[in-house]
């Protein structure tokens, strides 16, 4: 991978990291809140439990994403960024543009997805 290309992906990763951090603290959780005005009083507790679960779910996902972004940034510094962890083949640029924190080539990502059927593939 060319140095300029690597720099571009690094910047993209840093942007993504910032997005995740901002999302976690504000926007997404705000959008998903259930308005308690629309609910009878006895439903308030249930609604707040749902809100908590939604918030925790988001945090888990964001933390996971954040960890992958950090890993990718580390790889950029180590010079191993953009290489499949399974076969050591370069991950396609198109794939990296869509998922800058991908650690597997499309072949192995699809394989993993089949193995983890039912789980969200990242
Ligand atoms: Zn591979």
Distance, in Å, from the CA atom of 80 to the CA atom of 113, rounded to the nearest integer, reads 23
| Domains delineated in the chain | 3-115 (1.20.120.910)
Range in 12-26, 50-64, 74-88 with the lowest mean pLDDT: 50-64
**Which of 79, 122, 77 shows the shortest CA–CA distance to 101?**
122
Q: pLDDT higher for 75 or 23?
A: 75
Q: How far is the CA of 29 from the centre of ligand 1 (A)?
A: 35
**Which of 71, 79, 77 shows the shortest CA–CA distance to 101?**
71
Quick one: pLDDT at residue 11?
96
Q: How far is the CA of 122 from the centre of ligand 1 (A)?
A: 15
Quick one: pLDDT at residue 1?
83
Mean pLDDT confidence for 96-108: 94
Q: How far is the CA of 11 from the centre of ligand 1 (A)?
A: 24
Quick one: pLDDT at residue 51?
72
Quick one: pLDDT at residue 117?
78
Burial of residue 22, with CB atoms counted within 10 A of its CB: 0-12 exposed, 13-18 middle, 19 or more buried: exposed
Q: How far is the CA of 99 from the centre of ligand 1 (A)?
A: 15
Q: How far is the CA of 86 from the centre of ligand 1 (A)?
A: 5
Mean pLDDT confidence for 25-44: 56
Q: How far is the CA of 84 from the centre of ligand 1 (A)?
A: 5
**Which of 82, 69, 60 shows the shortest CA–CA distance to 6?**
82
Q: What is the pTM of this model?
A: 0.67
Q: How far is the CA of 92 from the centre of ligand 1 (A)?
A: 10
Q: How far is the CA of 117 from the centre of ligand 1 (A)?
A: 19
Distance, in Å, from the CA atom of 19 to the CA atom of 62, rounded to the nearest integer, reads 10
Q: pLDDT higher for 28 or 17?
A: 17
Greatest Cα-to-Cα distance within the chain, rounded to the nearest angstrom? 60
Quick one: pLDDT at residue 120?
55
**Torsion sign across C-alpha atoms 86, 107, 14, 25:** negative
Does an H or E element contain 22, and which?
helix 3-25
Sequence-ordered strand ranges (E) for the chain: none
């Amino acid at each position: 991978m060319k140095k300029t290309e690597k720099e571009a992906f690094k910047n993209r990763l840093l942007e993504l990291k910032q997005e995740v951090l901002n999302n976690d603290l504000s926007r997404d959780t705000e959008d998903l809140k259930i308005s308690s005005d629309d609910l009878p009083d006895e439903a308030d507790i249930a609604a707040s439990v749902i809100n908590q679960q939604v918030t925790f779910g988001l945090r888990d996902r964001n933390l996971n994403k954040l960890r992958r972004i950090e890993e990718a940034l580390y790889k950029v510094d180590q010079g191993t960024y953009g290489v499949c962890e399974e076969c050591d083949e370069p991950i396609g640029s198109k794939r990296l543009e869509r998922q800058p924190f991908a650690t597997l080539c499309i072949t192995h990502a699809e394989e993993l997805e089949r193995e983890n059927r039912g789980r969200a593939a990242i």
